[in-house]
Amino acid sequence: MERRFVFVLMVGALLIGLAVAIYRPARQLPEEPELEVSLPADRLVDDRVLTFCSDPWMPYAGEAGSPKEGYVVDLLRAIFTPQGFEVRYQTYPWSRCIEETRQGQVLGILCAERQEAPDFTFPQEPVGVNQPAFFTRPGSDWTFTGIPSLEMIRLGAVQDYFYADDLEEYIRLHRESDRLILTKGTDALEHLFALLADGSIEALVENALVVRYHQSLATAPIPLREAGSIAGGGFLFVAFSPRDPRARDMARRFDEGIRALRSNGRLDQILQEAGVSDWHAAAGRPPPPPPTGPLLPLSAPDHGSGETPAAPPPVSPAPLPASGSAPCP
């Protein structure tokens, strides 16, 4: 009897456990997160889109999207568009433009001297020549006669611009001094003119062609006096990012394109539309003759001596126009 009772209890417990197992709600499994699919960065880059940047520095480079973006932008489109590339141009402050190009966010920077970005890839063919000169108000009797003469005035310049070796050393030593004011941003040049107008600085240094162009278009240009120039300004280049794998090939294509534009007359047409002369003429040297054989590879210079073109001699800029009606030379 006792054994039968134990057997009944065991069977009952088994049936109860089975019932609980059958009717217990199924445990809710956590939802698996959706996988985010991301393509490698190099898969997202359109190799046919070429992005360049500069700060406004007319006539070389203007405001992005404006009717006149500068003759260097026109040259880039004349070279690369027929090859199936899309040229995009962006306007940044100069310091940011250098950094974004260095990081590979932008393919190339416009109108750089080698000293401004020595780690960049430079083509052989320049796009202009730097002509750094000093400008004061008409009533000033100060004239630049050498670096020591800068100690007599408060000078204005644009941050991270390269002017000449001697002046770069002066700027480095006086960066924290009250004898030097550096402007930055996309309106850095306008800021310099304003500082000169209100007496905050007594002289500014800038590319003479840029100053003349600004004065020729300004509705109310401030009166300026040229106060001497400094030797050491060199050729200006389109410089390509050290982190973009296309840099060397694009520099080669650019060289070939400039030579082709010079040979077929399109270069002269673009420069005439911008109101400027060929940079070789501005540097006091004749333009090179059109190549008669195959274009040389990037690694083989073709500038007479077999080296990168030497820095041009200083150029004395023409007198500044007194009003906004004079054309840019």
Topology match between the domains 45-128+234-282 and 132-229: yes
Strand partners, 129: 235
DSSP 287: P
**What angle (nearest 5°) sits at the alpha carbon of residue 129, between those of residues 293 and 93?**
120
| Dist CA 150 CA 209 (whole Å) | 22
Pick the CATH number of 45-128+234-282 from 3.40.190.10, 3.30.450.40, 3.40.50.720, 3.40.50.300: 3.40.190.10
Single pTM value for the model: 0.74
Half-sphere exposure of 123 (CA within 13 A, CB side): 28
Distance, in Å, from the CA atom of 102 to the CA atom of 243, rounded to the nearest integer, reads 7
124: alpha, beta or left, given left = phi > 0 and alpha = psi -120 to 50? alpha
Q: What is the pLDDT of residue 231?
A: 84
Task: Compute CA distances 286 → 260, 278, 279, whole Å.
Answer: 17, 9, 9
Question: How is 200-262 classified by DSSP, letter by letter?
Answer: S-SEEEEEHHHHHHHHHH-SSPPP-EEEEE-TT--EEEEEE-TT-TTHHHHHHHHHHHHHHHH
Superfamily of domain 132-229: Periplasmic binding protein-like II (3.40.190.10)
pLDDT value for 217? 87
**What SS3 state is found at 44?**
helix
Domain ranges for the chain, please list them: 45-128+234-282, 132-229
In sequence order, the β-bridge partners of residue 207 are 132
What is the separation, in whole angstroms, between the first and last Cα of the chain? 125
Per-residue confidence (pLDDT) for residue 232, from 0 to 100:
75
Q: Give the 3-state secondary structure of residue 296.
A: coil
Alpha-carbon distance of 230 to 204, in angstroms, equals: 12
Q: Does residue 326 sit in helix, strand or coil? A: coil
Angle between the N-to-C axes of helices 266-274 and 247-264, in degrees from 0 to 180, rounded to the nearest 10 = 90
- pLDDT tens digits in sequence order for the chain, 329 residues long: 555 554 555 655 555 555 545 444 444 444 544 433 333 344 345 789 999 999 999 999 999 999 999 999 999 999 999 999 999 999 999 999 999 999 999 999 999 999 999 999 999 999 999 999 999 999 999 999 999 999 999 999 999 999 999 999 999 999 999 999 999 999 999 999 999 999 999 999 999 999 999 999 888 888 999 999 998 779 999 999 999 999 999 999 999 999 999 999 999 999 999 999 998 876 555 544 444 333 333 333 333 333 445 544 444 444 554 443 333 33
The angle at the Cα of 297, spanning 296 to 302, to the nearest 5 degrees, equals 45
DSSP-derived letter for residue 110 is E
User: For position 284, what pLDDT does the model report?
Assistant: 59
